[in-house]
Amino acid sequence: DQQVKQNSPSLSVQEGRISILNCDYTNSMFDYFLWYKKYPAEGPTFLISISSIKDKNEDGRFTVFLNKSAKHLSLHIVPSQPGDSAVYFCAAKEDDYKLSFGAGTTVTVRA
């Protein structure tokens, strides 16, 4: 049973505009959330995270928002750049070590 869901398999955005990626989860015991970025033929790399006690975390062009009551988080990338074209995975932590991943959203930034 998929506990972390990314319902949009793909997103296309123009360079310079905002990219918004969404993620929903079902397990209320998740206490830490992460976004990973993956280029073809490479392993996922950590992008940004947020603890369940916060509702926002910002790192440069990347901001993650968490709405615990809705069990929803989102990643905002602004402004989007061509190098941001990749697959983005939402992940949630349980049991202090195990990550549950969503299926990923492929972002394409158009020049």
Partner 1 sequence: GAGVSQTPSNKVTEKGKYVELRCDPISGHTALYWYRQSLGQGPEFLIYFQGTGAADDSGLPNDRFFAVRPEGSVSTLKIQRTERGDSAVYLCASSPGGLTGELFFGEGSRLTVL
Q: How many helices (H) and strands (E) does the chain have?
A: 0, 11
Of the pair 79, 99, the CB lying nearest partner 1 is at 99
Question: Residues 34, 44: contact at Cβ < 8 Å?
Answer: no
**Residues interacting with partner 1, by CB under 8 A?**
4, 6, 9, 32, 34, 36, 41-46, 49, 89, 91, 93, 95-104
Smallest gap, in angstroms, from Cβ of residue 73 to partner 1?
Answer: 15
Scored b (16 or more CB within 10 A) or e, 70-102 reads: ebebbbbbeebeeebbbbbbbbbbeeeeebbbb
Residue 44 C-beta: closest distance to partner 1, Å: 5
Nearer to partner 1 among residue 14 and residue 26 (C-beta):
26
Residue keyed to tokens 């793909």: 10
- Cβ proximity to partner 1: between 62 and 101 the closer is 101
Task: Identify which of residues 79 and 94 has a Cβ nearer to partner 1 in the complex.
Answer: 94
